[in-house]
Amino acid sequence: MQRVFLETYGCQMNVADSETMAGVLVRAGLTLVDRPEDADAVLLNTCAIREHAEQRVLGRLGEFAHLKLTRPDLVVGVAGCMAQHLRQRLIGRSRVLDLVVGPDGYRHLPDLLRRAAGEPVAHVRLDRDETYGDLEPRRTPGVRAWVTVQRGCDKFCTYCVVPFTRGRERSLPLDDLVRQVEGAVRDGFREVVFLGQTVNSYRHGAHDFADLLRAANDVPGLARVRFTSPHPSDMSERVIAAIAESPRVCKHVHLPLQSASDTMLKAMNRTYTILQYRAVVARLRAAMPGLGLSTDIIVGFPGETPEDFAATARYLEETRFDSAFLFKYSARPDTRAYQWPETVDEAEKGRRLQALIDLQHRVSGELNDAALGREVEVLVESVARRNPAQLYGKSDEFRTVVFPNDGTAPGTLRRVRVVGATPITLFGEPIDAPRPLTLTLGAAPFRAPSAPATTPVAPIAG
């Protein structure tokens, strides 16, 4: 058991977990490979938030079943939320699967893989003390580093499996997190993203999330700090002030709404009303004019009437989010809502979803058009995927910006003037010389697999 292929599905937290898993495997002397055909073991790190993600993983397991016909010694494992959520179903799934390991079993992976080579193994016990705070992740080289500050969730939204797949909420010590940020900077990362299921409920001892933001802001060499996903009920004045007053903390907040109907919010156990959510948005925008604001919306939740849906559409029109992740409700086993009859059929869910997509596409286009002629600072990420003559990066408000490739290195901050826009992308032209880097990028010794090691990243469900 020497070579492991690791593939990731789901949100940023799954990506961060895969980096923790990679660190564990490499320190144990195992090698990460780019292709499953070259591996002694294949490991899928999975998400259970929505049914579509599970179906993709099950389809991938079917592909590995064919591979295993010619290589019967290949160890096939599923890790993460889906492993925890569907452990009984997965363990009994034909003869494909050799290992099922939940989110709190990653530090034991080398031993579990070796045992799984002899007989099927499951490690799905949740551990309220496990934070992986003592483990060094093997991060994918680039400009952005993921730092998990909190694991689990205590909110128990009625549609969400996270408290059942990741356990109860626990936070890492602030000093340990600051050391992680400092280490990321030493490895050449220019931006850190703090991750947590309800990240702004972070608390360890006397420290809260506002303290963490201010501490990260003071780390020398760091260009930007982001975080996702906060919960509206935990967006305190202290947190808002920390975002507003910390120059390196980006002026962008992804604030999940889910519905603008109080009836639906109560049924979802979201712990706020639409008036309270509106007040949080008003406080954020008053403290930070020009704030980038995005959200999550679910359509077709059990009991959602046409009037409930219309309230959500009106609120999106009123609030004018920069962007929104929009989803059809997907019933998940173990959640409270799973026991409730569905009242909106798939066709109507699709119609409502498309209506919101069209609405948000128009609003995003209008907001981006309004940026024409403005100057924005871009953290350069890479050469544009579709056109090597262009570079792309993110503005402080988390808008994607593309501009001509003049050889600027990734990790550089560039000021550009917006000269074109679509609902998704701003196009700019540089108006200054690059701000020089003080660190060498890509210094981390770990290189992620070039095969589809990560699928497109979804937002952390909030």
The answer to whether position 136 is within a domain reads no
Domain C-terminal end among 123, 155, 186: 123
Q: Does one domain contain both 243 and 160?
A: yes
Is 443 buried (19+), middle (13-18) or exposed (0-12) by CB count in 10 A? exposed
Domain C-terminal end among 346, 369, 392: 369
Q: Of 254, 262, 232, 207, which Cα lies nearest the Cα of 398?
A: 254
Q: Does one domain contain both 60 and 95?
A: yes
Query: What pLDDT is attached to residue 451?
Result: 33
The answer to whether position 445 is within a domain reads no
The answer to whether position 422 is within a domain reads yes
Query: What pLDDT is attached to residue 442?
Result: 35
Write the CATH number for 14: 3.40.50.12160
Query: What pLDDT is attached to residue 429?
Result: 95
- The total of structural domains in the chain comes to 4
Q: Does one domain contain both 157 and 190?
A: yes
The answer to whether position 343 is within a domain reads yes
Q: Does one domain contain both 388 and 418?
A: yes
Q: Does one domain contain both 262 and 349?
A: yes
Q: Does one domain contain both 49 and 115?
A: yes
Q: Does one domain contain both 287 and 340?
A: yes
pTM over cut 0.85: yes
The answer to whether position 437 is within a domain reads no
Q: What parts of the chain have a pLDDT lower than 50?
A: 436-457
Query: What pLDDT is attached to residue 55?
Result: 78
Query: What pLDDT is attached to residue 447?
Result: 28
CB 79 within 8 A of CB 106: yes
The answer to whether position 135 is within a domain reads no
Average pLDDT of the chain to the nearest whole number: 90
Q: Does one domain contain both 90 and 153?
A: no
Write the CATH number for 406: 2.40.50.140
Query: What pLDDT is attached to residue 333?
Result: 86
Write the CATH number for 357: 3.30.750.200
Write the CATH number for 149: 3.30.750.210
Q: Does one domain contain both 265 and 185?
A: no
Tens digits of residue pLDDT in 385-422: 889 999 999 999 999 999 999 999 999 999 999 999 99
Q: Does one domain contain both 118 and 7?
A: yes
According to DSSP, the residues that pair with 246 across neighbouring strands are none
Owning domain of residue 187: 142-250
Domain C-terminal end among 250, 275, 291: 250
Q: Does one domain contain both 364 and 379?
A: no
The answer to whether position 455 is within a domain reads no
Query: What pLDDT is attached to residue 24?
Result: 97
Tens digits of residue pLDDT in 258-277: 999 999 999 999 999 999 99
Q: Does one domain contain both 28 and 95?
A: yes
The answer to whether position 317 is within a domain reads yes
Query: What pLDDT is attached to residue 446?
Result: 25
Query: What pLDDT is attached to residue 380?
Result: 97
